Structures are given as structure tokens and as C-alpha cells.
Structure 1
Amino acid sequence: MTPPYSVAIVHYHLHRGGVTRVIHTASRCLTELGIRHVILSGEPDESGASLPVKVVEGLRYHTDPGGPTARQLMKEMKAAVVASLGSDPIVWHFHNHSLGRNTVIADVVAQLAEAGEAMVLQFHDLAEDGRPMNYPLIADAELLYPHSPRIKQAFLNSRDRRHFLAAGLPAGHSVLLPNAITQPAAVKPLEKKPDAALVLYPIRAIRRKNLGELFLLSVLSPKGTRYAVSLAPDAVRWMPVYEEWRAFAADTGLPVLLDVVGRLSPSPKSPRTYASWLRHATHCINTSVAEGFGLGFLEPVTLGKPLLGRNLPAVTNDFAEAGIVPGRLYDRLLVPVEWVGRETLRQRLIRSMRATLESYGEPMSNEHLERSFAAMLHDGHLDFGNLPEDLQRQVIHRLLSGDGLDQVLVEIRAETQPARTWLRRTLKLTEPTAKPGDLLPYSTDAYSSRLKKLYAELIDAKPEPPEEVPKHKILAGYLKPGSFHFLLS
């Protein structure tokens, strides 16, 4: 039986990336469920997939004055929905409406909320969480986080949901909606076992992915080990940091290859494709310092590739609750504080934190400074992943001179050991720590069931005037003293 409602999925664009993949998966799930739907995007789907996409140009990234008003954009969106689906009751499913990438999208959501429309507001990224450049665009929104029995906030991980609950969101107006893990095409094993490890980081190299950590690990890895990053950034704002690492790779000759897909081959005469790099990779890695869901932790399991690198409890705790050990991960990568200097770090912290907090319209208090500085110190060490890039390069140059190779430590569950020893042992292990069957909680079937239940609950709920989660409380939760991170500033 066809459900008595349709769904409109709304996003700024359909470029290659995590959110687009989630939307593609959701569309296929809805098709299998027999739920009529349309995807409203500010730009065409660059994948060329045969999905029901309608382009509404006013949805694209737009941060300058001018352009359509919220009322005009809402009118265009409704017209596109009616043209595609007729006049069935609609569930609006917005992705990242509060990210600060469009001048009016938050106001569109507010107007739909006031009209009693059924809505899912799904967060993949938040302007309050390490995106100070985005926040000014949403700071003055009158109704940024509406909720009611017909409006649910959907979260990829429990940590973000806890932030919103602490700020006043009723638990019944929220839902945990983790991404589905889709089974990729099988990767044909190599005929001959490689002589040395090839460690693939399958990401776009934006700042929070922490490229410096790859270079540090490459210094400490067994001879012949190579590290590869699949793609360059696709946003202008991240290119200066990326270009600095490209220049560093050229200057040092370290075995870290950047932007490899389509540009380089993993071995002589092999294709330059992503599939080819996956095939040749002996391991996958994560060094990111922040993620919304953490696809990169689970996808290597589907490929039969072992994962190593940095743990992110904000996302991996949910995996642990599901009984999944995604990889061989360290909690911190520690270097002696004297390699950077306490006063150097403190002065950099003062400058960076003040600028970041000002972007959020917040003053820097002495409590912010002292608690954040104290949080960076770990028994005479600093976590390499929370250093600005120039200080990361300073540390790596010291190691390249042969000084202190065994003073770099990995911390795993409060125990430390030399990172060089840990790497030598870990890179010899070629079996993943989980099996594809362990991922059933994140299957497309499970995702379909969650979507169907969520939409039915919203359509059946009676309209009530929306209330708002106070946005200043959301901001305070993410900016609490002691939480500052250089690579998220």
C-alpha cells in the first residue's frame, strides 16, 4: 500500500561527498518502500544518477546580500514539489539547514514550521561546531531550531543529540538517524602481496582531516611505507592550508601522496582510479579531528581493509554501543611539550581562540584561556593533532633531523607506547578488526525502517505551534571552556 504522504528532500547541492551519498541512499530506500519523493537541490546532481531531482537555484550556497527572499524561495520549492508529486501531504526533510551556507534557508524552515508542516531537520555539520566562518550568517535567525510533534531534529551521533537535549530539546522531538553503510563493489585482491604498506586516506583534504598527522606517521613508519590522500579540497577556503602541505611534501620528500585519484597510479601500469587505489591499499587510515557520523571508520570494514589512526569517541562510542570495533586506533598522538614551547603555544592559543570566539560573537574569558590551555597539556606532552599546522611542521622537521623518534607516543586507553613501535606492529596486521556482518545496525534495511517510522510519526502528529531550542544554549554547549581546537578554528 502506498503511504498517504510524499517526501521532499532538501539540500544546497548534490556534489560528490558524504551528504550527497546519504541523500542518494535515502532516495533508493524510499523508492523500494514505495514512498513518492523528490530531491530539491540548488544545483544538478553531478553523479548523473537517475534520481528524482528538481533544481531550485535559490537553494545553492549563497552568503552575499541579494537573491530571493525566504518567501520567494519557499514558493519556488512548493511549486517544484507540486509539479513532481501533486498535492499529497509532504514531509520536508532538510539537510544542514542551519549550517550558514545560504542567507535565507533557515528562514524558509522557520516559515514552514509556523505553518505546521511536517519536517525532519537533519544535522551532518553544525556551524557552532568548529565552523566560525559560517556562524555569522545564522546568528540573527529568529527561529533557527524549531521543534514540535511535527518537527524532529535528526542527529548522526549521540554526542550532538546530547548537546541539544541539554539545551532544552525534548527527547521526543529528536531522533538518532545514523547513516547507512552501503556495500561497495567488490575489490579484487592483488595477485602478489605488496612488499610494503600502502595506507590510503579516502577523503577530501580539508583542514579538519589533519593532514599533518600523515606526515608525522610517515617519518615513524617502516621503510617503504607510503601514505596516500584520495582527493584535494573542492572549496576555495581550504586550499591555502592544502597547498602548504603540498609544498611541504615536495620539500621533504616524505612518502605522502596527495590528490592521487585520477592523477597518480598506485603501482606501475595500474589505473589511476579510486577503485585501483583501494585495490592496492593494504590499510586505510583516519587522522581526522572531527566528524559528523564517521563513514571513514566503517567503510574499510566493507572492503576487507584494516583501519588504523586516530580515535574519535564522539562518533566511535556509538559504534562501540553496537558492538563494533572499527580499527586499531589511538586516542592521542603525543609529542614533548618542549618541542613546541609552553609560551609559544599559549600565545598562539590566545590569538586563535580570541579570533574564533569573536567570530561567534563571544568574548574570550580567562576561564576559556586557562581551561583550554590546561586541556592541551598531557603529562608533559601535547597532542600533535591539536597543534596549528606550522607548529606541526616544526615538530616533523625536528624528527627528520633524527632527534627523538621514540619520544613520539601513542596513547591508547590511558596507556602510552612509542608510536614507532606501535606502527611497526600495526602495519603488519592485515585483517580488519570487524566483519561486514557486524555492520547490520547500519544496513540500508535498518535505515529504511528508521525513515519509514520517522515519516509516519510526523504525518500522524497533530500540528502545534513550534517552540525553539535556544540557539545561544546550543552555541554555549559547543564553545564550553576547554573545548578549543586549532584545526577547528
Structure 2
Amino acid sequence: MKKIVFIHYHLRTGGVTTVLRQQIEALKDVCQMLLLTGEPPEISFSVEVVHIPGLGYFDGSSDQGFKPEEVAESVIRAVKYKFKGKCDLIHVHNPVLAKNVNFLSILRHLQKKGIRLFLHVHDFAEDGRPLFYYKKDEYPADSHYGVINSRDYEILSGAGLKKEGLHLIPNIVDCFGGCLPEVAASNIALYPVRGIRRKNIGEAILLSIFFKHNENLAVTLPPASPLDVESYSGWKDFVRENRLNVQFEAGLQKSFPELVQSARFIITTSITEGFGFSFLEPWMSKKVVWGRKLPGICDGFEDNGIDLGHLYTKLLVPVNWIGRKNLYRRFKAAMMKNINIYKSRIYSEKVAESCEKIVENENIDFGLLDESFQKDIIRRVLTDRKDAERLLLLNPYMAIPGDLPDDKRLLKNNLKVVKERYNIAAYKENLLKIYSTVVKSRVRQRINRDFLLKSFLNPEELSLLKWGDYVE
């Protein structure tokens, strides 16, 4: 049996904790495991959990931090106590987020002790998370990395990681554990998300204007962060003022499984995702997902046989509806602000060139715009029938929201692929194969951090919802 140690900053309820629990469940019969965390767990795990405070969140603003070498020694002691010796490898979750400013130093000390690391990246600080960005330290070299989607695999390949040292490890898709409630159908189009800015709530509201069966757009949960709350509250006010058929906080009134089962179809308009559950989970509930496709996330799904050809990649609107001058001014401000935060080597000339490229044939993608611009566009569509018709001419797919002529074939195919390719048995096989490679194969590789940042902070794909300030 392999001896595996997992490390994460905390074990709070959330995405990474769910993945950790699934990994432990998948490996319970074939590996000995130990879980190390920076905070006492909120919920129980089926393996031994050791709390090492120095692994938790630490921004360096106080004197309460632990010395990296001391934390590394605490890790080594916990491993020796559990296994009466060494482990085969340490599986580290989200190591490249500066949620602990000592974390990279801790990992370097573990490497110096000869410990094999598997660095499992769920999120990049470069992907619009400047508060969690390391600048002074390089990311760990000569270790194996794992990513959860094909976009990140391609980016890290371009940034210098080798095929033998970079592993694709898609998440398990197990919607509600297979326990689906029997509920009556309702006339809702469900957007099952927290209403954070990058979920592009405005686009879902725009689509709802064109629903054919008077569906009620239902957004499940409110956000938590102050900036997202401000944006979300603005959309609630906008919907109320314009008497739109939109329901917020639907998930506070009914259980999530009930909402999914009762929905006519599922909607997604997000401009960025990590793994992309929204493109897979609905099929498990025999629901069609409709809306915006994210090519970098969905490419891997489609390679595996998931049919997402009915989704759109852009929702075009005439740039003269919002004013080119205002657009460029706001775009440049957002880009230059982030260039300064990240201390990037992207130059102002490149930004100026990109302003021209984001406009195609006098149109711009709605998903690149901030809330203020989006509201202006929705008002036009609501008040001028000709503008609404023009929008449909630019985006014909908007005329058939959720209605697909071959939905039975689509449901059958995608349900079959999700069950076959994203189940716990397939995940276990992939994970064990990766572990064997990490244990047997040393790699010499390093991440080019400038390339990594430029892959995410790309002026030609910059969305003001993700990179810009909130504008009422």
C-alpha cells in the first residue's frame, strides 16, 4: 500500500475540501493516508487528521507566523509518527495561492528533505486573484504538478512543464450522490450559483427576456464577499425596478436537489470557471444545460465525448450601444491597474492595441462588459423592439433558449459520458497512475511565471467583470 499525505490550508466546507474527501474515499482500500491541515476540521474525515497551525492562512501582517523550516519539521514529525518512517509522497492542494506567505518556503524545505511532492492546482492567483499572488518566490521546481482542466494543462505546458511532470486530473462528478428527489416540475430556468461577479448574472438576466415559455430565471444563492454583494444587490434592484421575471436566493427557500429536479433547464453564463461542473452536473439530473460555453474549460469535456455544440461562446452586442470611448477608457483603466498590481511586463502599447481587437465588426462580447454597460444594454432591449430584434439577428441561438430539437439524444449521450468518464472508479485509476509516476519518475522542470501571468492577464480577453472595478 502506498503511504500518502494530503496537505491543505483548511478543511472548511467547499470545493477543495469536497475533492479531498472524494480522494480519500477513492483510495481508502489501497492506500494508507494522513491528512494535515492548518485549521481544526469543521467536519470529520475517515482518516487521521493532524492540525499544524503553520499550514493555515497567514498574510505576514503579524508576528504570529511560524518559521517555514519549523512548519516543515512539524510535517515530517507527523509523517514519521503515522507511518513509523517516510511516506511515498505528499499531495498538496492549491500550493500556488499565497494564502500563506510562507507556504512556498515550507514546500522547499520538504523538498530538501527528499520528500516527493504532487502539487494539485485548483486555482491560480494569476487568474484574477491578485490578493493571493506570490511575487518574491518562484513556484516549486522539479516537482510533479496536477491540474483540473485542459486550459490549465495547456498553459502550464507553455510555461515550461513537461508532459511527464504535468498531469490532468478532472474532478469526480457525483451530483447529489445519485440521490435525486421526486418533485413536481416547475417553470423555472435555474442558474445554480452564488451570485458573484464572474458568474455574469447580467447575461442570464438578458437571456431571460427571450425565454419562450415565460420561465422564471432562478439564481440559487447570494454571494459573501463585499464587492460581489454590492454587484449582486445592484442586480436585485435593477430586476425590481424593471419588473423582470427573475428570482434571487431560490436556494434559501428550497433544497438544491429539489430546485434542480423541478427546473425546465439549467443555465450558465459564467465568464470563468475552475473545473466546470456546470457543464457536466446537469446531465446527471437529466437536465439540459444552456448558455455560454468556455472553450478552454470545455475542450477536455468535448474531447471525452460530451456534446456541448448547442452552447454559444460569445454574445455579441453593438459597441455603439455603450460608446466606444467609454469602453476603451474603462478597459484601459482595468488593464493598467492589474498590470501594476501584478508588476507585469505587459506594456501600455500592447493594451492600446488590444482595445481595438476586442471590438469585432463593430460588436463586442457582452461577457467582457461590466454591470453598468450591461444594464444599459438590457434597458435598450426592454424599451426598443428593434434593438431586441437586432440582438436576435446577431445571436440567433437566443431565440431558442433551452429548447433543443434533439434534447433526448443530447441527454442520453451526455449522461452516458459523464457516468463513464467522471466516476469515482475512473478517478481512482487516474490518481493511482499519477502517484506511481510521481514516486518512480524524477522531473527537472520550472514554471515561467511571466508566461503564466500573461496567459491569464490577456488584454484581448479581459472581462471587466473579472478584472475591473464595480461600476453602478
Tell whether the structures are fold-level matches, with TM greater than 0.5: yes
Tell me whether 1:344 sits opposite 2:341 in the alignment.
no
Aligned to 2:241: 251
**CA shift for structure 1 position 351:** 0.8
Identity %: 28
CA pair 424-139 structure 1, distance change in 2 beyond 3 A? closer
CA pair 253-8 structure 1, distance change in 2 beyond 3 A? farther
- Once residues 44 and 273 of structure 1 are traced to their aligned partners in structure 2, the CA distance between those partners, rounded to angstroms, is 28
How many residue pairs are counted as aligned between the two chains?
461
Aligned to 1:165: 157
**CA shift for structure 1 position 84:** 4.1
Query: Higher helix share goes to which structure?
Result: 2
User: Matched residue of 1:220: which SS?
Assistant: coil
Aligned to 1:432: 411
CA pair 115-242 structure 1, distance change in 2 beyond 3 A? farther
Aligned to 2:129: 131
Show CA shifts across 1:416-452 (max 9, x none): 5435413274499576363432122222111101111
8 Å contact 2:266–2:288 — kept in the other structure?
A: yes
Tell me whether 1:277 sits opposite 2:259 in the alignment.
yes
The match for 1:456 among 428, 436, 441 is 436
**CA shift for structure 1 position 391:** 1.0
Query: What residue identity is the alignment partner of 2:90?
Result: W
CA pair 364-469 structure 1, distance change in 2 beyond 3 A? closer
What is the RMSD computed on CA atoms of the aligned residues? 2.5
Tell me whether 1:390 sits opposite 2:372 in the alignment.
yes
| Stretch of structure 1 that moved more, 235-244 or 442-451 | 235-244
8 Å contact 2:173–2:281 — kept in the other structure?
A: yes
Aligned to 2:17: 20
Q: What is the 5 A alignment of 1:56-135?
A: 56-66=52-62, 67-135=65-133
8 Å contact 1:91–1:459 — kept in the other structure?
A: yes
Q: Which runs of 5+ in 1 are unaligned?
A: 265-271, 411-415
TM-score normalised by the chain length of structure 2: 0.90
Aligned to 1:31: 28
Q: What is the 5 A alignment of 1:306-345?
A: 306-326=288-308, 328-345=310-327
8 Å contact 2:95–2:119 — kept in the other structure?
A: yes
CA pair 419-6 structure 1, distance change in 2 beyond 3 A? same
The match for 2:36 among 34, 40, 64 is 40
The match for 2:396 among 418, 432, 447 is 418
Aligned to 2:206: 216
Query: What residue identity is the alignment partner of 1:118?
Result: R
Query: What residue identity is the alignment partner of 2:222?
Result: A
8 Å contact 1:91–1:120 — kept in the other structure?
A: yes
TM-score normalised by the chain length of structure 1: 0.87
8 Å contact 1:101–1:134 — kept in the other structure?
A: yes
Show CA shifts across 1:282-337 (max 9, x none): 21121111112211111111111110010011011111111111473111111111
**CA shift for structure 1 position 481:** 4.5
Show CA shifts across 1:185-230 (max 9, x none): 3324445x54x3x122222222211111111112222353112222
- Once residues 246 and 274 of structure 1 are traced to their aligned partners in structure 2, the CA distance between those partners, rounded to angstroms, is 21
8 Å contact 1:131–1:488 — kept in the other structure?
A: no
User: Matched residue of 2:209: which SS?
Assistant: helix
| Stretch of structure 1 that moved more, 289-298 or 109-118 | 109-118
- Once residues 45 and 204 of structure 1 are traced to their aligned partners in structure 2, the CA distance between those partners, rounded to angstroms, is 24
8 Å contact 1:6–1:36 — kept in the other structure?
A: yes
Aligned to 1:442: 422
Aligned to 1:298: 280
The match for 2:167 among 150, 172, 175 is 175
8 Å contact 1:405–1:420 — kept in the other structure?
A: no
**CA shift for structure 1 position 29:** 0.6
Q: Which runs of 5+ in 2 are unaligned?
A: 468-472
- Once residues 107 and 236 of structure 2 are traced to their aligned partners in structure 1, the CA distance between those partners, rounded to angstroms, is 41
User: Matched residue of 2:173: which SS?
Assistant: coil
